Copies of this chain bind each other. A is one copy, B any other.
C-alpha cells in the first residue's frame, strides 16, 4: 500500500533530527511546537484526504512508474485531465485548511525535473533521468512529502551567480568525489520545508556557460548533516502560543516558511540530477515556475472559498446579508475567485505532452494565471474587510470575553441578531483577521504576490511568449498595409 495515513506521516516527521532554530533558540520536538504544529496538520491533510473515498478521484492517481495508486502529490501528470485534477485537488486542500498546505512545491519540482532530465540526457548522454526515476519511485512507494527548493539568497541582484562577491549567494558545488558532490549556499522562502521527508534542490535561474558549479540539482533527506534551518516569522505567529482557541483565528492549520543553509552538504551521485548542464537551467526553472504558477490557480482559490464563506457568515451574523451592496460585494469576491480558477483550469486544459511523456501546462497561460493571483486575492481581502466591519480590528481579546467580571458586560454589547452568540462573531472575525492580516495572510496575500515568482517575472515571461509580430501582421492586413488576399473570395 503506497498511501500513508496522516498519523504515519506525522510519526515520520517526528523522527527527524534536524538543526532547527526559531526565535533564537534551538527547537527539538518541532512537530509538537505550537507554532509549527498547524503547518504539520496542513501537510497531514494531504494524506488524510487521499484516503477519503469521496476525494479519491482527485487526490490519487495510478503511477506510470509503479502501476500503483499513489497520492497525486507524488504523481507525474499523464494527461491534461491530470493537470486539471491537480488544480481541483489544490482547491479542495485550500478549502479544507484555509492556508498554504505546502506539498505542491515538491509535486511541481518532480514534474519539471522529470521532463528536463529526460531532455538533458537526450542531449548530453547523461543518466540523470534514470536516477531521478529511481528516486521518484522511492518517493511514491513511501508516500513521501518532498520540498522543491529553488530560491537562493541571491546577494547583489544586479549580478549573476558567477559574478557575486560571495559565490555562496547561490547554492553551488564546492567539491566532487567519486561518491558524490558537496554543496554550499542557502535556499530561502522554503515553504513547508521541515514538514518534508526529502529536499529536492534546483538551480534558481539562467546560467552562463562558465557557471557550471551553480547548475546543480539533487535530493537529500531532510535530516542530512550540514543543513541549518531557521523558521520564518509570520504576522501574528505568537498567537499560536497563547492559550485559547479563538484569537488564533485558525487553530488547526497554518503555513510554514523556512530558510535552509547548506553548510557543505554531501550528496551521493545517485541523488544528483544535474551537475554542470548550464544549458538546461533555464528550461528547468521555467518549467518548474510554470507548474507552480498553475498551482496558485488552485490553492489560492480554495483559500478564497474559505474567505468568501467567512464573509458570508459574518454578514449573516451581523444581519446584513440581504443588503444589496453586501450581496454585490460577495458576488464580486466570487467572480474574482472563479476568474482565478478559470485561469488555473485553462493552463491545465491547454497543457501538452513533453518528450519524457509527462504533461506540461501551457506556459503562457500559467503566467497569466499567476499574474492575476498577484492582484485578485488582495481585492477579495479588501472586500472581506469591508463586509466584516471595523470590529475586525478593535475587538477585545478572547480572555476578556471569558473574564468573570467584564466578560458578561462585553458579551451584552456583542449581541447582534438575537440568535447569534458573541462567540460566533468573535470566531468568524478572528478567522477573517487571520486570512487578511494574520498568519494566513502571509500565504493568501504576500505569497500570492511573490511565490512562484514576483509579478514582474510573469510579465517578462508573457512578453517573451506572446507573438507580437503575428498580431502586428493581423493588424497590418486589416488596415490594408499588407496585402489582404483573404477577401478575394473567388
Contacts and interface: CB of A to CB of B under 8 A. Distances in A.
A394 B257 contact: yes
A220 interface: no
A258 to B, nearest CB: 8
Interface in A332-388: 334-335, 338-339, 341-350, 364-365, 368-369, 371-372, 374-375, 378-379, 382, 385-386
Contacts of A399: 23-25
Interface in A247-279: 247, 249-253, 257-259, 261, 263
A390 B451 CA distance: 7
Given A349-B349, A449-B390, A489-B10, A156 B328 contact: no
Contact of A253 (B307, B319, B462, B478): B478
A481 B44 CA distance: 22
Contacts of A433: 235
A325 B446 contact: no
B471 A308 contact: yes
Given A313-B472, A325-B459, 19 more contacts: A21-B406, A22-B400, A24-B398, A24-B402, A45-B486, A96-B474, A186-B413, A228-B409, A235-B236, A235-B438, A257-B393, A257-B394, A323-B456, A342-B343, A342-B365, A343-B343, A386-B449, A386-B454, A393-B442
A395 interface: yes
Highest count of chain B CB atoms <10 Å: which of A45, A263, A316, A468: A468
A310 B396 contact: no
A431 B98 contact: no
Contact of A252 (B80, B481, B486): B486
A283 interface: no
Nearest to A191: B394
A1 B12 CA distance: 67
B5 A235 contact: no
A446 B95 contact: no
A254 to B, nearest CB: 11
A222 to B, nearest CB: 18
Contacts of A474: 95-96, 98, 305-306, 309
Given A394-B232, A409-B228, A472 B331 contact: no
B232 A389 contact: no
Interface stretch (A65-73, A137-145, A414-422): A414-422
Main secondary structure of the interface of A (DSSP, over half): helix
Interface stretch (A117-125, A210-218, A238-246, A285-293): A238-246
B308 A468 contact: yes
26 contacts: A95-B474, A96-B486, A98-B474, A153-B414, A157-B320, A165-B418, A230-B410, A232-B395, A234-B393, A252-B487, A259-B410, A308-B468, A309-B474, A309-B476, A313-B481, A324-B324, A325-B459, A327-B463, A331-B466, A342-B343, A374-B386, A378-B378, A389-B450, A390-B454, A424-B481, A430-B479
Contacts of A177: none
